[in-house]
Amino acid sequence: MLKNYSVALSGRNLIGSILSSVIIICLFSSYPETASGNILVSQNLGSSAYTASRSENSTPEEAFDGIFNGTFANQWNAGWWPEQWIQVDLQQNYDINEVKLYIEQSPSPAFTVHSVFISDLTMFSIPAFVFAGTTEQAGILDVRFAQPIYGRYVMISTTVSPSWVAWREVQVYATPPPTTVPEPATMFLLSSGLIGLLGVRRKLKA
Positions that interact with Ca ion (CB under 5 A): 65, 72, 74, 169
- Closest residue to bound Ca ion by CB: 169
Q: Nearer Cβ to Ca ion, position 62 or 187?
A: 62
Helix (H, G, I), strand (E, B) or coil at 140: strand
Least separation in angstroms between residue 126's CB and Ca ion is 28
Residue (64 or 153) nearer to Ca ion, CB: 64
Q: What is the DSSP string of 90-137?
A: EEEEEEEEEEEEEE--SS-SEEEEEEEEEESSS---S-SEEEEEEE-T
Cα–Cα dist 195/81, whole Å = 69
Least separation in angstroms between residue 171's CB and Ca ion is 10
- CB closer to Ca ion out of 65 and 98: 65
Minimum separation from the CB atom of position 3 to Ca ion (A): 52
Q: Which residues contact 154 (CB under 8 A, 6 or more apart)?
A: 42, 87, 88, 90, 96, 99, 116, 117, 118, 170, 172
Q: How far is the CB of 166 from Ca ion (least distance, A)?
A: 10
Answer yes or no: are the C-beta atoms of 49 and 89 closer than 8 Å: yes
CB of 7 to Ca ion, least distance (A): 57
Q: Tell me whether residue 21 or residue 58 sits nearer to Ca ion (CB atom).
A: 58
Closest to 76 measured CA to CA, from 89, 65, 67: 65
| CB closer to Ca ion out of 13 and 43 | 43
